[in-house]
Structure 1
């Protein structure tokens, strides 16, 4: 056996470890949607409580995503990945063991923090494990595909586990996966020896605190407005704190020598446009996943597993479109692909509006396929357009901003569409769903306009559509 063979095996196992972390993070973004009915029956919670179960996770995931990259720079991505995976596992166990809705929400918040530590550090592990550019491109593609697979199978896996083992199993299953992932990382992933002369990124404590306060109060205002009304003291107070915290955050980031969010990047039209597209696309997609999951189980009386399977055609076409996007973007440019994908998604959701009255899944499956293919084209093209809008020294930051904007969009989508549906029962749910579809279509129309006027016509796909950090630490020997 040659000396290169163990090294190759270690690289593959390191990639597997990174993929495991990414998979469980993406799974837990969508898998809980299928559990909403079971959670409601177990805890008797309100719709706002169910929204907090989903958004408590997304909130901390989005809020800490930019800062956790800095932690990897300071303390080694391998170490941060393992700590994040361990925190995720402990929080997952706490979710499964929760006896009250409040305990579940708190555990989901901690789970989101672990997820924020996992994602950027997992990509850094892939980058260091594959120093050759060609091999790294393939590895990153597999890493991204693992996330796409998790997105596609999330509702199905959740449905099967809930039907067979109960809702707690969707959290308990993360624990053995985390143990395997941590062990594989420890044995196979390269460590980092920092150059003592290299600059060390600081942790923007003030910016991070203000970001959490702003996102948290904004989310609370939207969710609580559903039950308390926009004029309630709680909602008004949350909105006021949100405005103050947002202004303070912008001032702090402008004055900071090493901000978590460099504001000057938003002076570039393509950067700003793709950030907004990330918010709008996830607003439409995850908001509707949440509402349709409730609709299938409330209005159409689907079991969790059937509700999960109902999403499979859409999510499967997302994966197919992800694969098709690369060649299309290289030939026609990211701008054209973005406009095409946003248009297809908007048309698919628009055509779903009258079909939900039929009471038949067959009447909406074609629309799901069209919408899914459109969403699948938008996400990789959006990533390429974002990375093309910045210089190589800011690629890591651009990737973090795009991921954070997408998570923020999903958070707002679940909150707003939950507010639109309100306290609808089985008889009135359809009208609420149609309103939510209308909002999703409006968001996608804005994506079309942002693509047309904010993305340069000549933006072409790069050789790899995934980000690679500007600085690669020296692997430990």
Structure 2
């Protein structure tokens, strides 16, 4: 029989692998897009759906996954989510059509939404000692940085050597091994007190996000004023209005609307969305640029993205101390501004742009992401009472995924719009420049919001420390 210490270590391993798989998957899929486009004979719109079918599903079901775990058992939901994510990976690996690939991606998104919310709660229950818990959460959080660092290179190596299907195949053995570890060694836990399902609110939220994303991605192909696209935008607006009405009248609503009265909390969510709006949109666009215009292999493209990952990993560790010393506002302003400037610099890209320019720009964006990630969650968590820390963290992650979904949808639609006018490098670069201009302006708007609404210092040292410990979850996927 394994000792208590060994059981704790195996539980930590299971939770780390549960975080690592979706994070790695997100990083490598972007680099596989050109290969998928060639193999499946598809267009930009379909490539957007390959990314956003996952992002959209995850964003829509994230809060539901946390609620189900509290009600019915976190281990149970972790195992169900892990099985769905692994099964979705298997479908993606064998997909011979875009439709089957999207089915697999949706299953991956559902699995991630059920699996990930409970990982931090399971570790909290497994490590009752505060010092042990802090160490375990630190290791768990560092996995995100590891996946960000090795994801582009490892994924590109697999795509270059074995084809795009291999990035999904590699999830399967990891998923099966992790399922066995979690099933045997992870203890069950739940916290149903005060928790209830809000199915009307959940349904309306999904309807709003799906309708909006569909209208944005398909608008160029079907016509922005076609009945179907106008109906999509209309449905999104109606669903949002109905969602607000339902949540106001529902006891124990999925989204307690009164929390948005806290200006700093609302601003932090908006800034988190703007951060991932530009970042995920940038990953989508720059992967296509490097391989379609620069004619880089998947492996070379992955290596060319490394400066962003390296600078992010260097910048991130001391940020927690900087929050305590300088407060979140200057870090968030600097972070969003660096990301905005980096994306605006990408409007200068040409087919002949030297790699030195890419290194400098990627490093600036990586520094911006590193400076902003911890403070934005610190403000979100620290702006609400301590009893609402988990709720604030969940909303931070949901805001991030909504921003990621809209970033790929909107910036990709801008590129697709230019390509619909003609083919060739000139049309691609025109669309790329416009998309990066919009993305860069979005990041700079986030910097302005930070100046106006983010407090100079956090409300309390306790809130600060709690938020900093949770901060890396903002980029879990």
Shared fold, TM over 0.5? yes
Give the Cα–Cα distance (whole angstroms) in 1 for the partners of residues 117 and 148 of structure 2. 18
SS in 2 for 1:463: helix
Matching residue of 2:147: 150
SS in 2 for 1:190: coil
Give the Cα–Cα distance (whole angstroms) in 1 for the partners of residues 47 and 112 of structure 2. 20
Displacement of 1:369 after TM fit? 0.5
Matching residue of 2:402: 408
Matching residue of 2:49: 52
Does structure 2 conserve the Cα–Cα contact (< 8 Å) formed by 1:299 and 1:427?
no
Deviations 1:240-273 (A, max 9, x none): 1111111111111111111111111000001100
Match of 1:208 among 202, 205, 223: 202
Taking a change above 3 Å as real, the CA distance of residues 136 and 356 of structure 1, as seen in their structure-2 partners, is farther
Matched, 1:43 2:35: no
Matched, 1:341 2:335: yes
Displacement of 1:43 after TM fit? 1.1
Matching residue of 1:387: 381
Displacement of 1:360 after TM fit? 1.7
Matching residue of 2:81: 84
Displacement of 1:138 after TM fit? 2.0
Taking a change above 3 Å as real, the CA distance of residues 329 and 356 of structure 1, as seen in their structure-2 partners, is farther
Displacement of 1:54 after TM fit? 0.7
Matching residue of 2:26: 29
Alignment of 1:235-314 (within 5 A): 235-314=229-308
Does structure 2 conserve the Cα–Cα contact (< 8 Å) formed by 1:62 and 1:404?
yes
Displacement of 1:357 after TM fit? 5.6
How many residues align? The count is: 462
Does structure 2 conserve the Cα–Cα contact (< 8 Å) formed by 1:29 and 1:58?
no
Matching residue of 2:437: 438
Displacement of 1:27 after TM fit? 1.8
Displacement of 1:348 after TM fit? 2.6
Give the Cα–Cα distance (whole angstroms) in 1 for the partners of residues 257 and 368 of structure 2. 30
Matched, 1:375 2:372: no
Does structure 2 conserve the Cα–Cα contact (< 8 Å) formed by 1:395 and 1:467?
no
SS in 2 for 1:428: helix
Deviations 1:354-398 (A, max 9, x none): 254643212221121011111111011111111101112211111
Give the Cα–Cα distance (whole angstroms) in 2 for the partners of residues 355 and 166 of structure 1. 28
Taking a change above 3 Å as real, the CA distance of residues 456 and 430 of structure 1, as seen in their structure-2 partners, is same
Displacement of 1:306 after TM fit? 1.1
Taking a change above 3 Å as real, the CA distance of residues 239 and 70 of structure 1, as seen in their structure-2 partners, is same
Does structure 1 conserve the Cα–Cα contact (< 8 Å) formed by 2:294 and 2:351?
no
Does structure 1 conserve the Cα–Cα contact (< 8 Å) formed by 2:248 and 2:257?
yes
Give the Cα–Cα distance (whole angstroms) in 2 for the partners of residues 335 and 313 of structure 1. 25
Displacement of 1:303 after TM fit? 1.0
SS in 2 for 1:449: helix
Does structure 2 conserve the Cα–Cα contact (< 8 Å) formed by 1:210 and 1:245?
yes
Taking a change above 3 Å as real, the CA distance of residues 425 and 210 of structure 1, as seen in their structure-2 partners, is farther
Displacement of 1:310 after TM fit? 1.3
Displacement of 1:341 after TM fit? 1.3
Displacement of 1:215 after TM fit? 0.5
Match of 1:466 among 469, 472, 476: 469
Q: Which runs of 5+ in 2 are unaligned?
A: 472-477
User: Which stretch of structure 1 is more off in the superposition, 251-260 or 455-464?
Assistant: 455-464
Instruction: Note the aligned Cα RMSD (angstroms).
Output: 1.8
SS in 1 for 2:464: coil
Give the Cα–Cα distance (whole angstroms) in 1 for the partners of residues 371 and 71 of structure 2. 35
Taking a change above 3 Å as real, the CA distance of residues 352 and 49 of structure 1, as seen in their structure-2 partners, is closer
Displacement of 1:148 after TM fit? 2.1
Does structure 2 conserve the Cα–Cα contact (< 8 Å) formed by 1:335 and 1:385?
no
User: Which stretch of structure 1 is more off in the superposition, 84-93 or 344-353?
Assistant: 344-353
Matching residue of 1:448: 447
Q: Which runs of 5+ in 1 are unaligned?
A: 469-477
Matched, 1:420 2:414: yes
Give the Cα–Cα distance (whole angstroms) in 2 for the partners of residues 335 and 111 of structure 1. 36
Deviations 1:71-111 (A, max 9, x none): 11111111110110011111110111112101111211111
Deviations 1:319-350 (A, max 9, x none): 22221211111110111211121122223333
SS in 2 for 1:288: helix
Give the Cα–Cα distance (whole angstroms) in 1 for the partners of residues 360 and 316 of structure 2. 19
Give the Cα–Cα distance (whole angstroms) in 2 for the partners of residues 120 and 215 of structure 1. 20
Match of 2:353 among 359, 384, 387: 359
Give the Cα–Cα distance (whole angstroms) in 2 for the partners of residues 171 and 203 of structure 1. 32
